[in-house]
């Protein structure tokens, strides 16, 4: 049977504003409403950041708690993945929300350049974030901005710092980091299968206009797909995406074109080896 494709929707992120696209959900209420629509359109994972009253990114655990509670109520069963990325905080602040025990959290395992800054995740912070995820039974999604990050995930799994098979996301198209390159993408897939086994799940995210490119590469290669307004605010050059749900639908249409069923949240939890949802 063809493996169902898990669609992850990255609803808000740290960068886009409502000036870029009025559909970017900023307040908790907007985030819950936008995620519910995306869930109904087929997304099984919500990748979440929170913003302060000023619209700027924050890692405030209280805000994360409110968002998590709202999503559990309005999107029962959906996998909640909180960001520990470095744009919303620094040092251990990045992991202050892990004690909320979300299903998943993003985990950067190394450093690289971003468009205007160093995205720094030093080794001691990587170790600490991973240990908090183990403590609270949070499945990491390893963000691979570089090939070395896939090997770091393998080392961490071998040392028991990551439980089970690592779930790696290839991130391509961030300015000054790994560009969108098909040969590299294919080698990433090859490397995941070599290190973690032929059945190891993986996913991919492309930034801006490359979102749909990476969706198509991942869906057609047996991987899982990430979409959403965090990474891209447009349907095409001239058209703003009207919602996160519209971007999810675009990915779901690609699944249909490649005969991949869209994974339900139950199937997604099974594929990723997550705990059962309390619904």
Q: Which residues bind Zn ion (CB under 5 A)?
A: 83
Residue 57 bridge partners (DSSP)? 51
Concatenated DSSP letters of the chain: -PPPBPEEEE---SS--TTT-TTS--SHHHHHHHHHHHHHTT--EEEE-EE-TTS-EE--HHHHHHHHHHHHHHSTTPEEEE---TTS--GGGGGTTGGG--SEEEEE-S-EE-SSSEE---HHHHHHHHHHHHHTT-EEEEEESSHHHHHHHHHHHHTTSS-SS-EEEEEE--TTS----HHHHHHHHHHHHHHH-TT--EEEEE-GGGHHHHHHHHHHTT-EEEESTTT--EEETTEE-S-HHHHHHHHHHHHHHTT-PBPPHHHHHHHHTPPPP--
**Min separation Cβ 257 and Zn ion, Å:** 27
Phi (first) and psi of residue 8, to 5 degrees: -105, 135
User: Quick one: 83 or 243, whose CB is closer to Zn ion?
Assistant: 83
Of 94 and 152, nearer to Zn ion (C-beta) is 94
What's the closest the beta carbon of residue 35 comes to Zn ion, in angstroms? 14
CB of 198 vs Zn ion, minimal distance in Å:
29
Minimum gap (Å) between residue 182 Cβ and Zn ion: 24
Q: Rounded to the nearest whole angstrom, what is the least distance from the CB of residue 95 to Zn ion in the complex?
A: 14
Output 35 or 83, the one with its CB closest to Zn ion: 83
Closest to Zn ion by CB, 83 or 161: 83
Q: Which is nearer to Zn ion, 7 or 195 (CB)?
A: 7
Instruction: Give, in degrees to the nearest 5, the angle at Cα 58 between 57 and 63.
Output: 120
Name the residue nearer to Zn ion (CB basis): 212 or 229: 229
C-beta of 196: minimal distance to Zn ion in Å? 23
Partnered with residue 99 across adjacent β-strands are none
- For residue 47, the minimal CB distance to Zn ion (Å) is 6
CB of 205 to Zn ion, least distance (A): 9
Rg of the chain's alpha carbons, rounded to an integer? 17
- Which CB, 83 or 112, lies closer to Zn ion? 83
What's the rounded Cα separation, in Å, for the pair 26 and 18?
8
Q: Which residue is nearest to Zn ion (CB)?
A: 83
Nearer to Zn ion, 20 or 158 (CB): 20
């Amino acid at each position: 049977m063809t493996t169902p494709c898990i669609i992850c929707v990255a609803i808000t992120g740290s960068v886009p504003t409502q000036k870029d696209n009025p559909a970017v959900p900023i307040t908790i209420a907007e985030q819950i409403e936008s995620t519910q629509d995306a869930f109904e359109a087929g997304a099984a994972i919500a990748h979440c950041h929170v913003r302060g009253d000023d619209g700027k990114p924050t890692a405030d655990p209280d805000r994360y708690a409110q968002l998590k509670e709202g999503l559990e109520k309005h999107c029962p069963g959906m996998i909640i993945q909180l960001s520990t990325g470095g744009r919303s905080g620094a040092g251990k602040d990045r992991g202050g929300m892990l004690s909320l025990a979300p299903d998943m959290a993003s985990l950067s395992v190394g450093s690289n350049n971003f468009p205007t800054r160093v995205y720094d995740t030093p080794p001691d912070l990587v170790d600490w974030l991973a240990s908090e995820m183990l403590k609270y039974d949070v499945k990491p999604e390893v963000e691979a901005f570089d090939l070395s990050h896939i090997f770091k995930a393998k080392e961490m799994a071998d040392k028991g710092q990551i439980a089970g098979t690592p779930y790696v996301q290839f991130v391509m198209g961030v300015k000054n980091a790994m560009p969108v390159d098909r040969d590299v993408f294919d080698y990433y897939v090859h490397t995941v299968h070599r290190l973690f086994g032929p059945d190891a799940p993986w996913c991919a995210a492309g930034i801006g206009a490359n979102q749909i490119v990476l969706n198509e590469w991942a869906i057609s290669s047996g991987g899982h797909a990430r979409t959403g307004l965090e990474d891209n605010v447009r349907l095409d050059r001239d058209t703003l995406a009207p919602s996160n749900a519209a971007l999810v639908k675009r990915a779901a249409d690609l699944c249909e074109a490649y005969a991949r069923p869209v994974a339900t949240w139950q199937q997604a939890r099974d594929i990723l080896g997550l705990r059962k949802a309390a619904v």
